[in-house]
Amino acid sequence: MNYKHFITNERALLESYKIQGLKNRECARRLNKHESTISRELKCCKLNKYTAKQAILDYKKQRRKCGNKKKLSFNQRKYINYGLKNLWSPEQIIGRFKQLTNFEKGNFGFNYSDISLGKSISTIYRYIKIKAFSLAQTTLRHYKTHTKPKFTNDKRHIWEIKRDKFDFGHFEADLIVGKNNKSYKLTITERLTNLNYICHLDDKASSSINKNLINFFKNSTILKYAKSLTLDNGSEFAMWKEFEQDTGIPIYFTAPSSPWKKGTIEHENKLFRQRYPKHKNLNKYSEKYDKENIILLNNRPRKKLNFKTPVEVFQMFSPYFDLLKTCTYLALIMIIYII
C-alpha cells in the first residue's frame, strides 16, 4: 500500500467513525489505510478527543518544521549582505570576518559576538545563486561578465547541413572516456541506419583521432557514401581540416557546449556504455572485444528502423545507392521497409 498523507475529508470521516464507536481496524478498512496509520493519526491529536479541525492545525504546524534547515542565521545574513553591497567576494567576506574582534563587529551596528561564519564560501555562492540576499543583481561583482563560448568562423555549423530525415551518408563521431580520463575509444555512427564503429585509442591527441577517422573512411566502402561528419568542439578534433583534405568529406560542428545536438551518437554511446562502463579502464578491452561489440550492436533490432538491424538497413542501401539519389523520399521509405 502506498503511503499518503491524510486529507481534510479523510480526517472528517475518521472523526465521524470514532464518534460512531468504530474500531481502528474498521476505520482503516473504510479509509483504505493501514491500521497503524489510523493509530498514529489519532495519537497526533493533542486533545483527549480526536477532532478533524485540531488534527489539521497540528498537521500544518508540523509541516512548517519539514524541509532543509536554514544554514545561515539572521545575523549571518545581515553581515554577508553588508559585504556583498560593498562588492566584497564571498572569500573576502569570510576572511575579513575572521580578522574582526568582537568590538569591531559591534562597530558595524550588528551583534556579531555570537556568530561564526566558518568555511561557508560555497554556501554564500549558493545563496547568491538562488537570490536569497536583498540586493540587486547589478550590484554583484561579476554581473553579466560571463564570456560566451567562441565558435570560430572557419567552422561549419551543424544547422548548415542540407539533409533530410531519410538522407543516407551523414556520420557523427565522438569520444568515450574511461576511468580517471586515462583511456579512450572512438565511436562513429551513421545517422539514418545507426550503423556503428568503435576503435581503441592510445591517447586522445588530435593526431591519433584524425588518423583513426581517416582509416575508417578510406579503408572501407563507407567513403563513397559519406556526405558529412558531425563533431563537437573538443580539442581532440582540432585536425579536422586535415581530415577534410584527405577524405573530401565536409565536417560540421555542434554549437559550443551543446554536444547533445548530435543526438544519434550520444544515444549510441549509451548503448556502448552497457559494455564499456564509465568506471572501468578501457585499455583492458581488446580489439577482439571491440569487434564483438560492434557486431552485437549493429545486429540489434531498432524501433527506429521498424525493428530491422543497422546491418540489414545498410545492406538495403548499398546496391540501390545510385537509384536512391533519383528517388523521391516516399520511394526511399518503401525501399527501406518493403524490399
Question: Are residues 31 and 18 in contact, defined by beta-carbon separation less than 8 angstroms?
Answer: no
Q: What are phi and psi of 68, to 5 degrees?
A: -65, 140
HSE of 112, CA atoms in CB hemisphere, 13 A? 23
Question: Considering the domain boundaries, does residue 212 fall inside one?
Answer: yes
pLDDT score of 188: 92
Of the ranges 126-135, 209-218, 289-298, which one carries the lowest mean pLDDT score?
Answer: 126-135
In the chain, beta strands by DSSP E: 156-157, 170-177, 184-190, 196-201, 228-231, 251-253
What are 227-271's pLDDT values in tens digits? 889 998 888 888 898 999 998 999 988 877 776 678 888 889 888
pLDDT score of 140: 53
Higher-pLDDT residue of 97, 234: 234
Q: Are residues 168 and 311 in the same domain?
A: yes
Within 8 A by CB and 6+ apart from 90, the residues are 80, 121, 124, 125, 128
Sheet architecture: strand order including 156-157: 156-157, 251-253, 228-231, 170-177, 184-190, 196-201
Domain boundary, last residue among 139, 174, 191: 139
Task: Compute the distance between CA of residue 138 and CA of residue 141 in angstroms, rounded to an integer.
Answer: 8
Is residue 308 pLDDT above 80, yes or no? yes
Grid cell listed for 81: 549582505
pLDDT score of 184: 92
Q: Are residues 190 and 263 in the same domain?
A: yes
- Average pLDDT of 189-211? 90
Q: Are residues 319 and 298 in the same domain?
A: yes
Within 8 A by CB and 6+ apart from 213, the residues are 173, 186, 188, 229, 243
Q: Are residues 168 and 298 in the same domain?
A: yes
Is residue 324 pLDDT above 60, yes or no? no
Task: Compute the distance between CA of residue 28 and CA of residue 1 in angstroms, rounded to an integer.
Answer: 12
Q: Are residues 179 and 321 in the same domain?
A: yes
How would you label 284-308 residue by residue, b for 16+ Cβ within 10 Å and e otherwise? ebeeeebeebbeebbeeeeeebeeb
Q: Are residues 130 and 257 in the same domain?
A: no
- Average pLDDT of 291-310? 89
CATH classification at residue 211: 3.30.420.10
Task: Compute the distance between CA of residue 200 and CA of residue 209 in angstroms, rounded to an integer.
Answer: 10
- CA-angle at 289, arms to 283 and 294, nearest 5°: 115
In 55-162, beta strands by DSSP E: 156-157
Question: Considering the domain boundaries, does residue 149 fall inside one?
Answer: no
The number of folded domains in the chain is: 3
pLDDT score of 256: 75
Question: Considering the domain boundaries, does residue 68 fall inside one?
Answer: no
Task: Compute the distance between CA of residue 12 and CA of residue 107 in angstroms, rounded to an integer.
Answer: 57
Higher-pLDDT residue of 34, 153: 34
Grid cell listed for 55: 488534527
- Average pLDDT of 49-60? 84
Give percent above pLDDT 70 in the chain: 73
How much is the mean pLDDT over the chain?
77
Q: Are residues 325 and 294 in the same domain?
A: yes
Which of helix, strand or coil describes residue 121? Answer: helix
Question: Considering the domain boundaries, does residue 151 fall inside one?
Answer: no
Q: Are residues 26 and 170 in the same domain?
A: no
Question: Considering the domain boundaries, does residue 147 fall inside one?
Answer: no
Question: Considering the domain boundaries, does residue 2 fall inside one?
Answer: no
Question: Considering the domain boundaries, does residue 146 fall inside one?
Answer: no
Q: Are residues 216 and 325 in the same domain?
A: yes
**pTM given for the model:** 0.52
- Average pLDDT of 84-96? 80
Is residue 332 pLDDT above 50, yes or no? no
Q: Are residues 173 and 92 in the same domain?
A: no
Q: Are residues 54 and 78 in the same domain?
A: no
Q: Are residues 52 and 79 in the same domain?
A: no
Torsion over CA of 116, 120, 124 and 125, rounded to 10 degrees? 170
Question: Considering the domain boundaries, does residue 144 fall inside one?
Answer: no
For residue 288, give its domain range: 156-338
Q: Which amino acid is at 208?
A: S
